[in-house]
């Protein structure tokens, strides 16, 4: 009887495809996440010896569960960093899902890996990294940062044998993403946290911090942020990168959110310093319009990463049979802290190839432009004001006279009313409102509606 579960069920396939088609062709509803007016249904009795009718369960998902998930690809999702996958990327992710792909090694998945590498090579080129740069796609920026900093740490340790292994440090900005601090915690090393002017790490600030630090020689690398998550601020990549080069430090650029603006004709110059990077990440699942979960991780010298991160086991030896000094098979598993993996870069590759670079440029630019419009509208209204000038596609503003409670209540009500999903943040200790634009279809009318909902 167990065989039944491997049989193709044509009716079920039609029902599932019909559901997917509905999602792809209708405007994306915002839905409620945990703020749904309906309680989450009980799942008691769902796991049974003989299985439950699949159509019943599909309907259960669509009628009773889906509304408890905020759709991050709705143009009204302006919290955290949204995700707005292109229709092509979603469709191709279904192809990947149905292809039974394991994107771990060249041996198993050369074709898929070649497509992923094609996308990585394009991103590396866009960022000005040299020929030969490469890496893999990992689950997200957090895993990308951890993998890259592991390589940077190990390379740095060999250059500073006078320090105990746990004494080497990375210089980071006070505004580095939380995943950087977490990665260093996992790696068992400390940061040198550099204070910055207006939250932007510059070469001058880094030099001053190192000059004042009695253990400055223990710094083996610098982490720069190409677009902070909270405010969209791009560090002085050129200055930090050249400083790292001159001092033989590992240079990691975390562009998880912001480096997508490499596609923006008006903003790409901010990212020129990535050409100095030893490692660099950008999340296609953020502002490059690919589905979750997908982070592009690139190394200037992938061989270093491979040396440090490759997993060794007798059952894996076959993956390395063709390797020699000057050639090795490209196993994605060698370039990050992972082994088995889905070929998660393919949906991005397909979207980029089928939509073309110009469409990406226009979408990223349209997003920056709507953020710009929002800033102008905020300036014009009396009850709100900008906290700081807009950076990339992030706008921080305050509702004059409000405290934390009011922002929090307002945010929940906005979602309950199905207008938009906007969550407050903190800026220099103060609770403020934050709009993170990503969907090029977010309209000026919606921005006005959000701002008007903050009147009394």
Ligand X SMILES: *Cc1c(COP(=O)(O)O)cnc(C)c1O
Binding site for ligand X (CB under 6 A): 81, 140-142, 145, 177, 179, 225, 229, 254, 256-257, 283, 295
Least CB distance to ligand X at residue 289 (A): 15
Q: Are strands 134-138 and 394-399 parallel, antiparallel or unpaired?
A: unpaired
CB of 259 to ligand X, least distance (A): 9
Which residue spans within 340-442 are E strands per DSSP? 384-386, 394-399, 424-427, 430-436
Closer residue to ligand X in complex, CB, 229/375: 229
The DSSP H or E segment spanning 378 is helix 357-380
In the complex, minimum distance from the CB of residue 119 to ligand X, in angstroms, rounded to a whole number:
17
Sheet of 219-225: strand order equals 134-138, 295-299, 279-282, 250-254, 219-225, 169-173, 190-194
In the complex, least distance from residue 177 CB atom to ligand X, rounded to whole angstroms: 3
Task: Determine the straight-line distance between the first and last CA of the chain, rounded to whole angstroms.
Answer: 64
The nearer residue to ligand X, 206 or 253, going by C-beta atoms, is 253
Q: Which is nearer to ligand X, 346 or 394 (CB)?
A: 394
Please state the closest distance from residue 374 (CB atom) to ligand X, in A. Answer: 19
- E strands in 41-139: 134-138
Q: Kindly state the helix (H) or strand (E) to which residue 63 belongs, with its residue range.
A: none
In whole angstroms, the minimum distance from the beta carbon of 186 to ligand X comes to 13
CA dihedral angle for residue 7, residue 10, residue 15, residue 19, rounded to 10 degrees: 80
Say how many residues make up the chain.
456
- Residue whose CB is less far from ligand X, 206 or 384: 206
**344: closest CA among 285, 279, 261, 282?**
285
Q: Among residues 229, 139, 216, which one has the least CA distance to residue 177?
A: 229
Q: With respect to ligand X, which residue has the nearer C-beta, 256 or 433?
A: 256
Nearer to ligand X, 71 or 142 (CB): 142
């Amino acid at each position: 009887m167990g065989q039944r579960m491997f049989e193709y069920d044509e009716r079920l396939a039609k029902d599932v495809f019909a559901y997917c088609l509905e999602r792809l062709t209708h405007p994306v509803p915002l839905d409620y996440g945990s703020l749904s007016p309906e309680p989450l249904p009980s799942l008691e009795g769902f796991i049974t010896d003989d299985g439950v009718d699949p159509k019943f369960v599909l309907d259960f998902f669509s009628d009773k569960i889906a509304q408890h998930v905020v759709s991050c690809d709705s143009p009204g999702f302006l919290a955290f960093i949204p995700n707005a996958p292109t229709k092509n990327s979603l469709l191709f992710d279904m192809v990947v899902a149905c292809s039974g792909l394991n994107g771990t090694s060249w041996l198993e998945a050369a074709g898929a890996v070649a497509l992923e590498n094609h996308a990585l090579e394009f991103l590396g080129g866009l960022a000005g990294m040299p020929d030969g740069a490469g890496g893999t796609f990992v689950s997200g920026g957090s895993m990308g940062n951890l993998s890259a900093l592991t390589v940077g740490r190990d390379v740095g340790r060999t250059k500073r044998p006078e320090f105990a292994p746990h004494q080497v440090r990375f210089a980071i900005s006070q505004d580095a993403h939380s995943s950087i601090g977490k990665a260093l915690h996992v790696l068992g090393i400390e940061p040198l946290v550099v204070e910055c002017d207006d939250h932007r790490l510059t070469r001058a600030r880094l030099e001053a911090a190192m000059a004042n630090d009695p253990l400055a020689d223990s710094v083996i690398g610098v982490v720069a942020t190409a677009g902070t998550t909270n405010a969209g601020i791009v560090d002085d990549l050129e200055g930090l990168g050249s400083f790292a080069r001159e001092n033989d430090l590992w240079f990691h650029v975390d562009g998880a959110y912001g480096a997508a603006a490499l596609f923006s004709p008006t903003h790409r110059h901010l990212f020129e310093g990535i050409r100095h990077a030893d490692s660099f990440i950008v999340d296609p699942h953020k502002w490059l319009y690919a589905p979750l979960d997908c982070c592009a991780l690139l190394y200037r010298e992938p061989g270093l990463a491979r040396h440090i991160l490759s997993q060794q086991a007798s059952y894996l030896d076959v993956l390395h049979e063709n390797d020699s000094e000057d050639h090795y098979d490209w196993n994605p598993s060698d370039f990050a802290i992972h082994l088995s993996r889905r070929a998660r870069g393919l949906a991005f590759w397909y979207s980029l190839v089928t939509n073309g670079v110009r469409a990406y440029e226009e979408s990223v630019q349209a997003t920056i432009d709507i953020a710009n419009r929002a800033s102008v509208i905020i300036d014009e209204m009396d009850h709100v004001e900008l906290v700081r000038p807009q950076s990339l596609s992030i706008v921080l503003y305050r509702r004059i006279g409000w405290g934390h409670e009011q922002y929090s209540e307002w945010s929940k009500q906005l979602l309950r009313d199905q207008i938009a999903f906007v969550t407050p943040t903190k800026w220099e200790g103060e609770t403020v409102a934050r709009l993170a634009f990503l969907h090029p279809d977010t309209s000026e009318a919606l921005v006005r509606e959000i701002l008007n909902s903050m009147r009394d």
